[in-house]
Every structure is written in C-alpha cells, then in structure tokens.
Structure 1
Amino acid sequence: MNKFHSRLLFAIIFLIIIVFLCMGFMLGQFISSVITYSETHGISAEKTIQQVWIALIVCLGIALVIILSLIVRITTTYTKPIDAATKAVKELAKGDYRARTYEDPITATGLLGQSINIVARNIEEMTKSYEMQHDRLHTLIENMGSGLLLIDSKGYISICNRSINEIFKINQDDLIDQLYYEAFSQKEIVKLVEEIFMTERKLRRQLHLMIGNEQKDFEVYATPILGSNVEWKGVVLVFHDISDLKKLEQMRKDFVANVSHELRTPITSIKGFAETLLDGAMNDREFLEEFLTIILNESHRLQVLIQDLLDLSKMENKGFSLNLSRVNVKELLENSLRMLRSKAEEKDIQLELTVDDETTVINGDMDRLKQVFINVINNSLSYSPNKARVSVKATNLVDYVDIQIIDTGIGIEENELSRIFERFYRVDKARSRNSGGTGLGLAIVKHIIEAHEGAVHVSSKVGEGTTVTIRFKKGISSKKS
C-alpha cells in the first residue's frame, strides 16, 4: 500500500471517529433532554429511551452505509485510476511504450490517465521512427562499398563498418573502443587522424598502404565532427579503394607508351630510308630496291599494327559480331596450317595435325577462329628453334572440343604465364620485334575465344616447350561478343 492510500485511509477513519464522537455527544444531549421531558409530562422514561435507541441504531446504520458508499466512491474515482496511472508510468519507465492506463474525460484522474496515454503514444511513435531511422542508417553504413570509421573526441573508435573489416582484415570487435593509433599499424592513417585533430579541417588524400603482403591505394576523405556550439565530437574517415583504378590508369599509360613505341619504330624506319633515298641513294638501283622493300615491309607492319588495334578496340568495347556457322574442326585446322607451312619449312620444323574425329563440328566464326589458330601456331613456330616439332591435336569430348598446340620451343617462365595475354606483353622482346609481331596477337586471341564462350589455358617449361589448350563448346548461345 503506497503513501497516498495510507493517507486516504487515515483520513476516512479519522472522519468516521469525528462523526461518531459528534453523534455520541449529540446522543447524550438528546437522551438527557428526553428524560427531562418524560419526567415533566409523566411519560415512562425507559420506553422512551428504548424508542430513541432504535431510532439511533437505524440512523447509525444509514450513516454507516453512506460512509461506506463514500469510501467505495472515493476508491473507485481516485485510488484505482491513480494505481493504473502509476503502473502505466512504471511500464513506460521500463521501456514498454505500449502500456496504457484508464481514461475518463470527466474526472480529474481520468484526464490524468488520458494525458499519460497521449504521452505514451507519442513516445511509442517516436521510438518506432527512431528505430526505423537507426535500422536504415545501420544498413546503409554496413553495406556501403567504402570503409567508414568514426573516432570520438578522445581518440577511441566508436563505429566501423563491414568494409573496414574487409579492407584491413581486422575483426570489428577488435576495433570498437580501441585507440586509433593502437588499432592500426599503418603510420599514414595515424598521421592523417592526428592532422585532423590538430587542424580541425577537412582533408582528402590518397594513401598507398601496405595491408598484409598486399599494397593497396585508397582515396581517403577525413572530416572533423563539430557540435552546435562548435563542440569537438570526433573524426569521420571514409576509405575508397582505388587500387583497380590505379591499375587501369597504369595500364592506360603503358598502353599509350607501347603504342607510341610500336608506331615510332616503323615510322622512324620509313622516314629514315625515305630521306636517304632523297639524299641521292635513289640513283643507285641496288640501294633503291633494298630501301623501298624496307619501306614497304615497315608500312605493312604499321598497317597490321593499326588493324590489330582497331580489332582489339572493337572486341573490348563489345562492338563486333560473330558470323556463326557450323565449322568443321579438321577443315579449320588444315586451312590454318596451310598458311603456315612455308614458315615451318623455312625453319625445318615438323608441323603435325591429329584429329580423333574428322566429323567434329562447332558453332563459330570461321574467319575469327582461323585468326586464333594462325596467331597461336605462328607463335609456336616463332619461338621454336630449327628442326623442332609443333603438334596440333583436336580431341572430341562429350560437350566440348579440346584443341592443343604443342611445341618444343624455348618455353615460358612460370611468372610470365599469367601476363602473356596482356596487350604488348612480350616474353622475348627482341625475337618478337624481329619476327614482325605487334604484341597484340594473343590479346586478340583471348577476346575471340571468350566471344565464342570458350577458354584458353597455357602450360610451359623453360627449355622444353609450351602447350596451349583451347576448349570450345559444341554449341554457343549468343551471336554477340
């Protein structure tokens, strides 16, 4: 029983005592008056007193009923609503914002309950809105592609998202509530945060970080967090991984440098021999024919390079179509080898073809596939010594056709195998340029094979030779590369 109930009960008991004392005093006075009146008029005092007692008992009973009714009324009107309101407020204090109390728009306690319910409903709506916003913000932070880090004014990490964990290979639990200079071993990050703390200015900086055994590049946005009264709240850092962009930028630079170099060589030759002829060498018939032949060869080399660049550009931009038809594998390989027989004979290289099923066919572009095999077989011939052997084998499988080009040439270092399909990459730069290669052949080969939904694999041992395995499906689903 609370203090309010105790005080109310005490007040009611005190009121009843006062009422009964008053009634006792009035009863004494009344009985004294009745006795005096009876003695004066000769009426029996005992009978009169008996009647008075009966009347008084009835009156006391009625008074008791009235008092009990008042008690019930007071309890119903005030005590129970206040109990309900107290219980509801306690539930609200515990965080149960669905708690409600008794409402009565007439009585004061009912109005109190109504006000409590209004407050409860408002708190519930605000809580739901807050939880919704919190969930949205949490989902956004956790699933954003960039890493986010929040450091409070004391230097402790208070928020980090999933991308930070993936970038730095650190468990989230190991970062939260850690000092930033203890959590990160990269000095560049520590210096950046310290600079923000000292200058209180936004920064945008590219960082080259060593993470484990891997080097990565990041675009980092760092900004201080200031309150409404310019109160220092902390620092926010956002890490954008730009490693791939850096690689693409380097590839672009390398591509421009390689194209410039490849174009400069034939142009320089053409210009030099033309100037020599204009200086008087054209009068010598022998020199004239020799120099014109060199100019013609260099012009052809320049034309091939430009055509390869155009083809590669179309393939990389997915701007070329395959003219699909039913291609007989044996016929395709025979046509490709026929164009390379003379080169093989010049080097006394044994060129062999083995097809285990002469009826095997694939869906493909005959001209593009011929371009693939001429490039690959020509490479095998170029990198094989005299009197070597180059074998071409076609194996018919259930759903695929495997075609292998096997040579006994110089081979390729293992660390170079993953790069041989890059544009302008050369295993033996001197030999490639002397043989007239552009450095784009294998890059074009890879794009054509992928356009046919095929795959290419290269295995090699230095001094023993190289095997190129090309696999095609017996049917492809698209006519666009």
Structure 2
Amino acid sequence: MTKFRNTLLIIFIILIFSLFLGLGVLLGQLFNSNFQETLSDLHKNEIMRTIFIFVVIFLVLIIYLGKRIFSRYTKPIIEATNVAIELTEGNYHARTKVNGSDKTGMLGTSINRLAQNLQELVKSQEIQQEHLSVLIENMGSGLVLIDKRGYISLINKGFIEIFKGSPTDYLENLYSEVINQEEVCNIVTEVFRTEKHVSKQLPIPLFIERRYFAVYGVPIIGTNNVWKGVLLVFHDISELKKLEQVRKDFVANVSHELKTPVTSIKGFTETLLDGAMNNKDTLKYFLSIILKESGRLQSLIQDLLELSKIEQQGFKLDIQEMDLYKLLEEVITLLNGKAEVKDIHLDLICKEEQVQIKGDVNRLKQVFINLINNAITYTPTNGNVKVLLFDNGNKVRIHVKDTGIGMKKEEIPRIFERFYRVDRARSRNSGGTGLGLAIVKHLIEAHQGKISVKSDIGEGSEFIIELYK
C-alpha cells in the first residue's frame, strides 16, 4: 500500500508540474510581443478561453483525484486511528468502517477484530470477577485479605456477620488496630514471620456468646516469590464443638447410669456367693434388688436403642387415621392402677368423644404413657393428674397437668436433654432412665408437632402438645 501511495503521489506531482509548465509556455507565447501582433483580438479571446477551460478542467481533475485519494486511503486511516484511540481509552464497543479488501480494508478489519477480542476478553474477565465476588461473599466463612504492609484490603460478608461492624471499620486499616482478638493477630504475625500456613482452633468471645472458630492463615506469594500478603479464613465450628461436648456428656452419662446397676448386681451377687445365699431371707432380699437393678438396666438399654432408632435419618412413622380420644382412654386405663395406689385422681377431659387425626398410633401411645406416667410419679399422694384434649379445627392440643413437685423456671429449657434430671436422687429412686422426655420430644417433632412446658416449684407441671390433623 505504501508503494502504491508513493506512485500515486509522484503522478499527482507530475500532473501539477505539467499543468504549470503548459500554462507557462502558453502564457509566454501569449505575452510575446511578436506573437501578440500577429493575432487578432478574436484569436486572443479564443486562446484565453481555451486556457481558462483547460485550467478549470485540470483543477477539477486534481480535486477529484485528491478527494478519491482522501476517501480511499486517508479517511480510513483517520477512522482507524480514532478507533485505536477509543480502544486505548477503554471503549471496546468502537468500530471502524471497512470498505473493500485492499490494505486499508485489511487495516480496518484487523482493528475491528482486535476491538471485538478485547471486548470479549473484558466481558470474560467481568464474568469471572462476578463469579469470584459471589463465591467470596457467600462462601459461608469469614475471609480477610491483608496486604504486604499489614493493611486490610478485602473482607467478605461472612466476616462482617461474625464480627459485626461495617466494612469501613476494617478496610484500609492496620490489622493489629482493628482486629481485637490477640490470638488472631498472633496467627497473622506468625504467617508474616514464617511464610507458612498456620491453622488453629480458637474460642472467640463475641458479644454475649462464646463461639469456636477454625482460623486458617495462608501466605500469598506471587510469581518470582513476590510477597503479596496474608489470607485469613474463619470457619465457625461452634456446632461441631457443641456436638462433641454432647457426645462426651452422653458417653459420661451412659457410663454413669450403667455403672450403678451393674455395680449393685455385681456386689449383691458376690455377697450371695460368699455365703449369704444360705440365709433364705437375705437371699430373697438380695435377689429382689438384683431383679430391680437388672430391670432398670434393661429399661436403660431399651431407651438408648429407642432413642438411637428415632434419631436415625431414615426413621419413619406409620401415619394413619386414628381416634386420639380413644388412644388417651386406653393409656389412662393402663395407668389407672398406678394412680390408685397413690390415691391420685386421674381424669380425661374432652368435650368430644371422637377426635380424628393422622398419626402413628404406637408412637403417640408411647408419648402419652411417658408423660402421664411421669405426672403420676412426681405427684404426691392424694394429688390430681388431668389430661385435657381440645379440638381446634385444623389441629388438636393436649394438656397433661399435675399437682406435683414442679420445677424451677431455669430448669425447663433443659428437661428434654438426654439424662438431664431435675432431682437426680428422686428420679433415680423412681426408676427413670433420664431419656423419656428426650424420646417424647423427638416423636412429637417427627409428627411436625410442638411440645412446651409450664411449671412452678410446688405448684405442679403442665405439658402442652400441639398436633396437626
């Protein structure tokens, strides 16, 4: 293209030179005195007209050629230059017109292809940046990015939710000045010092609660071992710690509950083998204790197996249409003998004689046997236990109310915990395993129902169950 443009320029210069040369010759002849004398005025006018026409035609030709050169070569180059400037300023939507398939057309096509590639590249980067931002903000853990100077350059939503405050409280501030937990600052310092990954499990007090976090400190090192900073990740493991503590408590409680009857059985058996069995009264008394303790041991094992089965993920209820009023009548008939021994008045109160719901008959029977049996157990002689059934349209409400010993307000939230006892000595003497209410709660929740408690010391307790039809 450059060679052609140079040739065109040379031709253009030759044409202009020829024009001026021809004009010079004509004018020289015209103004020559001898030549002027031989010509008449008419001829002189004809010559001048011819020269004028020739000059006009030549000027028109020059303008036409100049315009063609500009539109074909100069204008596309200017447009391509303007588009290139737009691209350098970040406007990747700019495009130049492409005319023809010559060199200038190829230039325009190349610039447009470059602009399109840059636009796609930027779009891809924006999508990746958006994906990265969404991932960082919703990763479920707190994240802090500290630059090589020790200033916080990035935090995510998880970190703000953990430590509260606002991003402006942390961003562009020195980490040691805005992170109040000394253990966390020590992790950052250690990563800066060793340039190695550091992870610790830390209890961190947050406002009114104490939570546990697995804190990971990771050095960020770029290419050519260029130090970039430190990345901190806070993963909340409070629930895991809680479950671990529950497991430890469960093992300790089971061990304790199993130890007592096993020790009694072993002790009385050894006493009998040492000669006490020869005394019939002693033999009968010891065997009755062994029977009682083995029964207690059996109840504990059965409750443990039952609770384990209920808590399994695949546990299912046998849901069917059932008459709740009839079920409660059966339970009261079953426990009426125990109530009569203590002169306790056991009553079922309901306006309807038939209350239909959908539920598991055997499991609900297990629930009410447990609750009513507890009410009888912890109610003194000549007390009252009432079971009230209310039909409220789309749901039913059952109240098991006694006039027993009751419990403190602060103990109510814990009574559904496994092995928790309001009065350990009295509960153990009653033969309870400490698992009954935990089983009740799981079964009611499996029915999508709710259970709540009202109680005061010396005024009895009231368990309230809501079940949907």
TM-score normalised by L of structure 2: 0.90
Q: Cα gap change, 1:453/1:227 in structure 2, threshold over 3 Å: closer, same or farther?
A: closer
State which of 66, 77, 98 in structure 1 corresponds to 2:61: 66
Preserved contact between residue 424 and residue 440 of structure 1 (Cα < 8 Å): yes
Q: 1:244 maps to which residue?
A: 239
Where does structure 1 lack aligned partners over 5 or more consecutive residues?
1-12, 475-481
Q: 1:198 maps to which residue?
A: 193
Q: Aligned equivalents of 1:467 and 1:154: distance in 2?
A: 63
Matched, 1:400 2:399: no
Q: CA-atom RMSD, angstroms?
A: 2.6
Matched, 1:83 2:78: yes
State which of 456, 465, 468 in structure 2 corresponds to 1:461: 456
Q: CA deviation at 1:108?
A: 4.2
Q: 2:279 maps to which residue?
A: 284
In the TM superposition, what are the counterparts of 1:361-372 in structure 2 within 5 Å? 361-372=356-367
Q: CA deviation at 1:263?
A: 0.8
Matched, 1:275 2:281: no
Amino acid at match of 1:30: Q
Q: Aligned equivalents of 2:190 and 2:112: distance in 1?
A: 51
State which of 293, 296, 308 in structure 2 corresponds to 1:301: 296
Matched, 1:384 2:379: yes
Q: Cα gap change, 1:37/1:331 in structure 2, threshold over 3 Å: closer, same or farther?
A: closer
- Residues 321-351 of structure 1 deviation map (CA, whole Å, 9 limit, x = unaligned): 5444544334322332333334334433333
Q: 1:470 maps to which residue?
A: 465
Q: Aligned equivalents of 1:302 and 1:356: distance in 2?
A: 41
Amino acid at match of 1:179: L
Q: 1:3 maps to which residue?
A: none
Q: 1:5 maps to which residue?
A: none
Q: Aligned equivalents of 2:39 and 2:464: distance in 1?
A: 141
Q: 1:450 maps to which residue?
A: 445
Q: Aligned equivalents of 1:128 and 1:420: distance in 2?
A: 59
Q: 1:207 maps to which residue?
A: 202
Q: Cα gap change, 1:157/1:110 in structure 2, threshold over 3 Å: closer, same or farther?
A: same
Q: Cα gap change, 1:44/1:451 in structure 2, threshold over 3 Å: closer, same or farther?
A: closer
Amino acid at match of 2:303: D
Preserved contact between residue 326 and residue 354 of structure 2 (Cα < 8 Å): no
The farther-off stretch of 261-270 and 132-141 is 132-141
Q: 2:212 maps to which residue?
A: 217
TM-score normalised by L of structure 1: 0.88
Number of equivalent positions: 459
Percent identity, aligned pairs only?
A: 50
The farther-off stretch of 55-64 and 137-146 is 55-64
Q: Aligned equivalents of 1:312 and 1:335: distance in 2?
A: 24
Q: 1:125 maps to which residue?
A: 120
Q: Aligned equivalents of 2:394 and 2:24: distance in 1?
A: 119
Matched, 1:150 2:149: no
State which of 394, 413, 417 in structure 1 corresponds to 2:412: 417
Q: CA deviation at 1:162?
A: 1.7
Q: 2:28 maps to which residue?
A: 29
Amino acid at match of 2:28: Q
Q: Aligned equivalents of 1:38 and 1:355: distance in 2?
A: 144
Amino acid at match of 1:406: K
Preserved contact between residue 81 and residue 102 of structure 1 (Cα < 8 Å): yes
Q: Secondary structure at the match of 1:339?
A: helix
Amino acid at match of 1:86: T
Where does structure 2 lack aligned partners over 5 or more consecutive residues?
1-11
Preserved contact between residue 30 and residue 36 of structure 2 (Cα < 8 Å): no
Q: Aligned equivalents of 2:451 and 2:186: distance in 1?
A: 47
Matched, 1:429 2:413: no
Q: Secondary structure at the match of 1:221?
A: strand
Q: CA deviation at 1:286?
A: 0.9
